[in-house]
Amino acid sequence: MARIREEWYIIVNPHAGSGKTMRYWVPAEARLKELGVPYNTVYTTHKRHAAELSALAARTGYRKIMAVGGDGSIHEVFEGVLGWCETSGTDPSEFYLAVAPIGSGNDWIKSFGLPKDVMKMIDILAKGTFVQEDVVRVSLSGGKVSYMANIGGIGFDSHVCEQVNAQKERGKRSSRIYLSSLLYNFAHAKPFNAVFYRDDEQIYSGSVLDIAFGNGSYCGGGMQQCNLANPSDGILDAIILPKMSIGQILTQAPRLLTGTVDKSDKIIYVRGRNFKVVPLDADSADIVELDGEIVGNLPVELQVLPKKINVLCNPKP
């Protein structure tokens, strides 16, 4: 068994934040040294590298791991650490995770009261206050397994993420790419046919424009899609948006900003410990996104495990 190490293992995504990572990270790293926080730094060089590095860190004895990047980076760290925990039989509660937010959305941190200011985050890290977050295991088509740190979606959500990621891979780093993708997919949204189960009970069957899952409540730079979601309560949240007219959708959109999606009479709000979405036909085996990353296709099952993982938080005064 590897010796348990006390240093922070810091995984830096140099391409996060529209390529502005180092502008923020260099002074933050100096602040870590000033505060006497022990750490080792590594840099990602390709997609999914953070998952590989975090699994390696776990295997070699690190139990404190921080991502420097956006929500995609923290997703990869969750995948790497929790995947290693599952294969090795290690309890996730041994691990302490954090993020220095240098992404475009930075939604995961909002559930834990953490600031977007990287220097302030370093000061909070030095104090070392943590809370336990639920571990959400996700099973996908073909036997693939992933983990959800914050949010996920199928349909409208997943196609927006797919288009945004494709533009980023082509070198586009403007904050406008999310808005342009949002507008395009709003105009070209295609329904799919699926059955939604909550704790083995059928909740809905039919045509769907969007399904969103929430371990946390924030998405899209601060909107609250699953507004009742609490990442530490042992419960998953989801919304089902049945096929409806553009006019009807527009009447519901303000709820994303006011945190009242659960009050809608047109959107189905669901809470439970296990969700399953099964396509009703081959054309409806839609893509699935978790934390902004495309991870596979329907069918999908999300399960809250009985174990938890420690994440950095900013305690209320």
Does the pLDDT of residue 257 top 80, yes or no? yes
Per DSSP bridges, beta strands 145-147 and 130-140 are antiparallel
Among the residue ranges 44-48, 93-97, 134-138, 235-239, the one predicted with the least confidence is: 44-48
Spell out the residues 6+ positions from residue 279 whose beta carbon is closer than 8 angstroms to its own.
192, 193, 194, 285, 286, 298, 299
Mean pLDDT, to the nearest integer, of 235-241? 98
In this structure, are residues 119 and 234 in contact, taking their beta carbons and an 8 Å threshold? no
Does the pLDDT of residue 52 top 70, yes or no? yes
pLDDT digits (tens, 9 = 90+) for 128-155: 999 999 999 999 999 999 999 999 999 9
Residue 7 main-chain phi, psi, to 5 deg: -70, 155
At position 277, the amino acid (one-letter code) is: V
Confidence band for 81, pLDDT divided at 50, 70 and 90: very high
Mean pLDDT, to the nearest integer, of 29-55? 97
What's the pLDDT at 174? 59
In this structure, what DSSP letter does residue 30 have? H
Task: Measure the CA–CA gap between 68 and 98, rounded to whole angstroms.
Answer: 9
Mean pLDDT, to the nearest integer, of 82-96? 98
Extended strands (E) in 70-150: 96-101, 130-140, 145-147
Which of the two residues, 246 and 175, has the higher pLDDT score?
246
In this structure, are residues 276 and 141 in contact, taking their beta carbons and an 8 Å threshold? no
Superfamily of domain 5-128: Probable inorganic polyphosphate/atp-NAD kinase; domain 1 (3.40.50.10330)
Instruction: Cite the residue boundaries of each domain of the chain with CATH code 3.40.50.10330.
Output: 5-128
pTM for this model (two decimals): 0.94
Which of the two residues, 219 and 221, has the higher pLDDT score?
219
Task: Measure the CA–CA gap between 232 and 10, rounded to whole angstroms.
Answer: 24
- Structurally, at CATH architecture level, domain 139-305 sits in Sandwich (2.60)
Confidence band for 185, pLDDT divided at 50, 70 and 90: confident
What's the pLDDT at 1? 67
Instruction: Cite the residue boundaries of each domain of the chain with CATH code 2.60.200.40.
Output: 139-305
Neighbouring C-beta atoms of residue 146, cutoff 10 Å: 24
